[in-house]
Amino acid sequence: MYQIEQADCFEWLPGCAPQSIHAVCTDPPYGVLEFTEKELAKLRGGRGGVWRLPPKIGGSHRDPLPRFTVLTSEQKEHLRDYFRDWGRLLIRALVPGAHVCVAGHPILQHHVQGAMTEAGFEVRPALMRLYYSFRGGDRPKNAEKEFPEVCVSAKGAYEPWMLFRKPIETKTVAENLRRWKAGGLRRLSAEKPLPDAIPSGRTPKFEERISDHPCLKPQRFMRIIVRALLPLGEGTILDPFMGSGSTIAAAEAVGYHSIGLELDSEYFRIAEAAIPRLASLYPRFKGQDLEAELGATVEPECMEAQLAFALAEQPPAYRTRDSTLE
């Protein structure tokens, strides 16, 4: 039920049939530095660049993350131009009322929302992925002992997934749903609406072993938001920056038709192999419950332990035990 292509979405979208895509879910590279050929070479080589390397604190391993705080004013302006141009290409391919869900960063969120508004989208309330990370909480660089009770920014406990909607073309959402199968979000059930804050936790290590991508998102979270983007459970979801393949795997697990595009040949190869394996995990979980039993034990698995893990000067090892890897 999915198709993937090694392609540049800026070249693919102009050839896409108008009003043929019902939703978009993606974690974009932000068109700035971190996924340029030069910076990817540094990331894969484990040295230098805008990625936070070496990925260790107090002897504990952490995944590399791009350092958005190093962006210049010119690069931030380029980011706005990038998303505005992307949004204008994308809006033509979407049905009226289609939602676009874009993974973001608190520092860059306002740039992306402004650009997408200029492209013709409505800004909708964002979804918050709740998890404790290594982002923020650092003391002033080279002055840690001088200012032991100061942190430059708050410790990260969420990741915004911005929501945008192509304007509906009918008088009501109900009419748009009948005509285009879009305009709203799918509830968890008839009795439970979709919340805007979704507990997530870190990506389990056994999922990371399936897809070796620096921005892999957990299936538990991805299936919830992917399921929500097709309000009637019908239509096609596009991920124009496929990366790890986690969006396409989630759509496959939920039972949706999806299209994935990835420009980088190495990440395309990884996603091609990872998608069916990620989709096969947790066969009973279709994103319909926030508290689903996934058939795996992840440690630390509660929010209190997650918080202790994030705040510790020397975080404990993050381990998983799972019997469903094969």
pLDDT at position 34? 52
Give the containing element (helix H, strand E) for 151: none
| Cα distance between residue 322 and residue 326, in whole Å | 10
Would you say the pTM of this structure is higher than 0.85? no
Task: Count CB neighbours of 198 within 10 A.
Answer: 19
* 182, 97 Cβ separation under 8 angstroms: yes
pLDDT at position 6? 97
Contacts of 297 (CB under 8 A, 6+ apart): 320, 321, 322
| Cα distance between residue 222 and residue 199, in whole Å | 12
pLDDT at position 55? 43
pLDDT at position 266? 92
pLDDT at position 29? 83
pLDDT at position 269? 95
Q: pLDDT 10s digit of each residue in the chain, 326 long?
A: 899 999 999 999 999 999 999 999 999 987 555 545 555 555 545 555 544 444 443 343 444 444 445 578 888 888 899 999 999 999 999 999 999 999 998 888 999 999 999 999 999 999 999 987 767 888 888 999 999 999 988 888 899 999 999 999 999 999 999 999 999 999 999 999 999 999 988 889 889 999 888 889 999 999 999 999 999 999 999 999 999 999 999 999 999 999 999 999 999 999 999 999 999 999 999 999 986 544 444 444 445 555 554 555 554 443 333 333 33
Task: Count CB neighbours of 81 within 10 A.
Answer: 13
Closest to 62 measured CA to CA, from 309, 305, 320: 309
CATH class of 2-322: alpha beta
Q: What is the DSSP string of 184-205?
A: S---SSSS-PPPSEEE--PPPH
* 51, 34 Cβ separation under 8 angstroms: yes
| Cα distance between residue 230 and residue 238, in whole Å | 11
Contacts of 296 (CB under 8 A, 6+ apart): 204, 206, 281, 282, 320, 321, 322, 323, 324
pLDDT at position 56? 42
pLDDT at position 277? 95
pLDDT at position 51? 42
Does residue 124 sit in helix, strand or coil? Answer: strand
Does residue 112 sit in helix, strand or coil? Answer: helix
pLDDT at position 46? 54
- Burial (CB count <10 Å: 0-12, 13-18, 19+), residue 318: middle
Closest to 96 measured CA to CA, from 17, 186, 168, 178: 168
Could you tell me how far CA 78 lies from the centroid of its own chain? Answer: 21
Q: SS in 3 state form for 247-286?
A: HHHHHHHHCCEEEEEECCHHHHHHHHHHHHHHHHCCCCCC
